[in-house]
């Protein structure tokens, strides 16, 4: 084992005026040259721990700091942040908030200029980093005009150029598209291969799972797990974790629960596919129309092999579209009725001439639960803002409930159309949570008694009762999100648009919000969720339509299975089909239906009673 390059001893930290400490006695040693994922729920202390490593805490924040943090043999208390920057590079999560100069070249060279490195060396190094990251096209451009993904690449370049011994990246992929993500992962792995210690802070451990040497899981300011990925996959139940986990590990864990050997757990997707194929080598094709066993994971062996007959779409839909109590709900919205929302050849151009929507024709009916996805800048939010008149079509028309809404003000349309904005801080401006909940109702002229009653009911069902008299600005990110969702749903609009409802939430919080949205939805409503990452929605049982946007046009649309399992779409969005679909496809010769996108359903199918080899039998 290499010598420890980061030593943390009994680290405790509380932000100024905080009620509770964020870090509660962290002891951690990270050997030189390791790639470490630091993960955990929102508020678990991931970023705080990272900032302690580069000295930003306590220097820039103040607060109560106890214990010792040593990087490259230097106690962080002994050096200033700017001096520690020679050893520790820190890439922040939001690129827009870390660009200090207006031109790409000066931004990348910023750190080296601060260190008074000779001009010629700076020019050489910046040139090399442009080439290394493949961002030569950004030369000469203003940082101001770049897309968020491009800004993030510049931010990463501005740290890499300083060649730090330790590189900390705080959620570096959240604003990047898949191609750029792959590039960043490649570069980071290259740096790690060359000896740089990498601290990868993220809620999505699947990004680096197979490449990491170690995973540190923070649980409410304490270390909940510290060890290699394989050990984590074997020891911890990923289902209950507040982080995004690799789908293939989820599947492996389901299979182990159903009696498969632990051998099935492989950190890499490729290894997982290989192992599953080995373990199911003698598995025979099975007829899916056979009745399901009562207990999942039963290992009883059928005497006769059965042929594989794919189920009809209607059968699948009936399985997927069930409500909370497991009761089937209507399989499809009634499209013969008049649409509730109609985009009639809508084109929209911004004042600077950029055409964000190009001849969009879409119809949504009562009972449509729609996910709108696509890359940044594909026109998702612009599309949604047409629904309540925040934007008006340059060409074409918007029809809601059979009426052209071109001359209806947004404040009038708001009564029937709720809109949840992405950033809660843009929405919350009242002194208390109670006022925030009352805000829309008062705007719509609801009487005081009803307002009070509704607030009480709403606070109960959204678990906000204890927060009613608090200022929204004091709340945590997930609490703020819950308040904003509640403040929209409180007036029961028939159409609701959620713009990135799960943004900046951990996995458990995201599931809670999706659950709230699903509970609100019924066959009389239209729910539109905008999300750049459709993978968060694969578990949704209410979703019945997915629209993928590309360059201001509808690229593809269809039911979730058709979209989630479509290789063209998934390759466009993520560079490859979902891991679960890849595994299902690799097992298709053994009677497994190739169109799977949920770990749970694939595990269920693999463990369905069939003839299997002894390799697969439980230990």
Q: Which of residues 402-431 bind another protein (CB under 8 A)?
A: 409-411, 414-415, 417-419, 421, 423, 425-429
Work out whether 96 is an interface residue with another protein (CB under 8 A).
yes
Q: Which of residues 590-609 bind another protein (CB under 8 A)?
A: none
Instruction: Lay out the site mask for another protein across 292-331 (x = CB under 8 A, - = otherwise).
Output: ----------------------------------------
Taking the complex as a whole, how short is the minimal distance between the CB of residue 274 and another protein, in angstroms?
Answer: 42
* Sole binder of another protein in the list 9, 101, 298, 331 (CB under 8 A): 101
Hey, which residues between 465 and 484 contact another protein (CB under 8 A)? 473
Q: How far is the CB of 87 from another protein (least distance, A)?
A: 11
Binding of another protein by 77 (CB under 8 A): no
Q: Are strands 369-374 and 4-14 parallel, antiparallel or unpaired?
A: unpaired
Residue 35 engages another protein in binding (rule: CB under 8 A):
no
Q: What's the closest the beta carbon of residue 110 comes to another protein, in angstroms? A: 5
In Å, how far from its chain's centre is CA 605? 27
Could you say which residues in the range 374-403 bind another protein, by CB under 8 A? 385, 388, 390
Binding residue for another protein (CB under 8 A) from 13, 65, 90, 375? 90
**DSSP state letter for 392:** -
Locate 129 and state its tokens. 């980093």
Q: Return the residue of 443, 448, 456, 613 that touches another protein, per CB under 8 A.
A: 443
Residues 332, 317 contacting (CB under 8 angstroms): yes
- Alpha-carbon span 578 to 596, nearest angstrom: 9
65 binds another protein (CB under 8 A): no
In sequence order, the 6+-apart residues with CB closer than 8 A to the CB of 518 are 324, 369, 540, 541, 542
Taking CB under 8 A as the rule, which mask of x and - marks residues 348-377 in contact with another protein?
A: --xxx-------------------------
Tell me how far, at minimum, the Cβ of 489 lies from another protein, in Å.
Answer: 12
If one asks whether residue 110 binds another protein (CB under 8 A), the answer comes out as yes
Output the CA–CA distances (angstroms, integers) from residue 565 to 130, 537, 546, 584, 591, in the order listed.
36, 13, 12, 10, 17
Residue 435 sits at the vertex; the CA angle it makes with 430 and 438, to the nearest 5 degrees, is 125
Interacting span for another protein (CB under 8 A) from 107-115, 458-466, 588-596, 611-619: 107-115
The nearest distance, CB 416 to another protein, in angstroms, is 10
Instruction: Determine the interface stretch with another protein among 110-118, 131-139, 323-331, 461-469 (rule: CB under 8 A).
Output: 110-118
The SS3 assignment for 250 reads: helix
Site for another protein in 170-199 (CB under 8 A): none
Q: How far is the CB of 500 from another protein (least distance, A)?
A: 13
CB 563 within 8 A of CB 534: yes
**C-alpha separations of 182 from 210, 250, 312 in Å:** 14, 22, 37
Q: Which is nearer to another protein, 53 or 233 (CB)?
A: 53
Closest CA to 583 of 601, 563, 610, 571: 601
Please tell me whether residue 104 adopts helix, strand or coil conformation.
helix
- Considering beta carbons, is residue 77 or 144 the nearer one to another protein? 144
Verify binding: residue 51, another protein, rule CB under 8 A: yes
Sheet holding 395-400, edge to edge: 355-364, 341-349, 395-400, 403-404
Name the one range near another protein by CB under 8 A: 29-37, 86-94, 251-259, 271-279: 86-94
Q: Is 165 in the site for another protein (CB under 8 A)?
A: no
Asked if 105 is part of the footprint of another protein (rule: CB under 8 A), the reply reads yes
> Which one of residues 233, 488, 528, 584 is an interface residue with another protein (CB under 8 A)?
488
60 part of the interface to another protein, by CB under 8 A: yes
Instruction: State the nearest-atom distance from the C-beta of 414 to another protein, in Å.
Output: 4
What span, in angstroms and rounded, lies between the C-alpha atoms of 391 and 385? 6
Selected from 65, 200, 209, 439, the binder of another protein by CB under 8 A is 439
CB atoms within 10 A of CB 426: 9
Q: Say how far residue 475 (Cα) sits from the centre of its chain.
A: 21
145 near another protein (CB under 8 A): yes
Cis omega (within 30 of 0) on the bond before 107?
Answer: no
Structure tokens at 262: 């632990």
Give burial (CB, 10 Å; 0-12/13-18/19+) of 216. buried
Residue 80 or residue 551: which is nearer to another protein going by CB? 80
85 near another protein (CB under 8 A) = yes
Least distance in angstroms from the C-beta of 203 to another protein? 19
Shortest distance (Å) from residue 364 CB to another protein: 18
Helices 119-133 and 178-193, packing angle to 10 deg:
120
If you search the block for the tokens 């890849």, which residue do you land on? 582
SS3 state of residue 536 = helix
Give me the phi and psi of 27, to 5 degrees please: -125, 120
Q: Which of the ranges 48-56, 257-265, 307-315, 591-599 carries the binding residues for another protein, by CB under 8 A?
A: 48-56
**Ramachandran category for residue 611: left, alpha or beta (phi over 0 → left; psi -120 to 50 → alpha):** beta
Q: Which helix (H) or strand (E) holds 89?
A: strand 88-91
Among 4, 12, 29, 106, binds another protein (CB under 8 A): 106
- Which residue lies nearer to another protein by CB, 154 or 276? 154
CB 94, min distance to another protein, A = 7
């Amino acid at each position: 084992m290499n010598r420890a390059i980061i030593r943390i001893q009994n680290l405790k930290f509380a932000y100024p005026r905080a009620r509770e400490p964020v870090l509660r006695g962290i002891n951690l040693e990270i050997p030189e040259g390791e790639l470490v994922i630091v993960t955990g729920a929102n508020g678990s202390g991931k970023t705080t721990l990272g900032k302690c490593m580069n000295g930003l805490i306590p220097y820039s924040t103040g607060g109560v700091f106890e214990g010792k943090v040593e990087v490259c043999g230097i106690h962080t208390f002994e050096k200033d942040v700017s001096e520690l920057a020679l050893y520790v590079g820190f890439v922040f999560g939001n690129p827009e908030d870390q660009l200090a100069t207006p031109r790409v070249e000066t931004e990348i060279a910023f750190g080296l200029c601060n260190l008074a490195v000779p001009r010629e060396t700076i020019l050489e190094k910046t040139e090399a980093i442009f080439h290394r990251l493949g961002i030569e096209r950004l030369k000469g451009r203003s940082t101001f005009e770049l897309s968020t993904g491009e800004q993030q690449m510049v931010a990463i370049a501005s740290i890499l150029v300083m060649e730090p011994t330790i590189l900390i990246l705080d959620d570096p992929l959240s604003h990047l598209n898949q191609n750029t993500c792959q590039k960043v992962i490649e570069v980071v792995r290259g740096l790690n291969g060359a000896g740089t210690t990498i601290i990868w802070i993220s809620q999505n451990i699947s990004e680096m799972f197979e490449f990491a040497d170690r995973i540190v899981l923070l649980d409410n300011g304490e270390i909940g797990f510290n060890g290699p990925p394989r050990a984590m996959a074997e020891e911890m139940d990923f289902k209950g974790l507040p982080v995004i986990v690799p789908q293939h590990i989820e599947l492996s864990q389901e299979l182990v629960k159903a009696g498969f050997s632990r051998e099935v757990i492989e950190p890499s997707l490729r290894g997982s596919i290989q192992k599953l194929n080995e373990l199911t080598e003698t598995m025979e094709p099975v007829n899916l129309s056979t009745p399901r066993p009562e207990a999942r994971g039963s290992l009883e062996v059928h005497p006769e092999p059965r042929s594989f007959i794919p189920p009809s779409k209607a059968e699948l839909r009936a399985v997927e579209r069930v409500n909370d109590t497991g009761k089937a709900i209507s399989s499809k919205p009634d499209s013969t009725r008049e649409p509730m929302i109609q985009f009639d050849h809508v084109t929209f151009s911004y004042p600077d001439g950029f055409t964000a929507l190009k001849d969009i024709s879409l119809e949504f009916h009562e009972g449509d639960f729609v996910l709108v996805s696509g890359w940044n800048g594909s026109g998702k939010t612009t599309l949604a803002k047409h629904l309540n008149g925040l934007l008006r079509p340059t060409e074409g028309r918007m029809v809601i409930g059979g009426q052209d809404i071109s001359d209806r003000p947004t404040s009038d349309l708001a009564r029937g159309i709720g809109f949840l904005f992405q950033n809660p801080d843009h929405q919350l401006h009242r002194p208390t949570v109670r006022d925030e909940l009352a805000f829309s109702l008062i705007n719509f002229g609801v009487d005081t008694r009803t307002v009070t009653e509704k607030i009480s009911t709403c606070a109960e069902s959204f678990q906000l009762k204890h927060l009613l008299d608090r200022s929204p600005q004091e709340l945590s990110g997930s609490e703020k999100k819950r308040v904003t969702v509640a403040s929209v749903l409180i007036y029961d609009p028939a159409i609701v648009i959620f713009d990135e409802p799960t943004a900046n939430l951990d996995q458990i919080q995201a599931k809670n919000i999706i659950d709230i949205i699903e509970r609100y939805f019924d066959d009389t409503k239209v729910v539109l969720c905008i999300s750049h990452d459709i993978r968060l929605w694969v578990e949704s049982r209410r979703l019945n339509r997915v629209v993928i946007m590309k360059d201001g046009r509808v690229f593809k649309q269809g039911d979730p299975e058709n979209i989630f399992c479509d290789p063209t779409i998934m390759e466009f969005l993520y560079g490859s089909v979902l891991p679960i679909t890849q595994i299902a496809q690799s097992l298709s010769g053994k009677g497994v239906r190739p169109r799977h996108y949920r770990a749970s359903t694939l595990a269920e199918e693999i463990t369905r009673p069939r003839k299997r080899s002894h390799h697969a039998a439980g230990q």
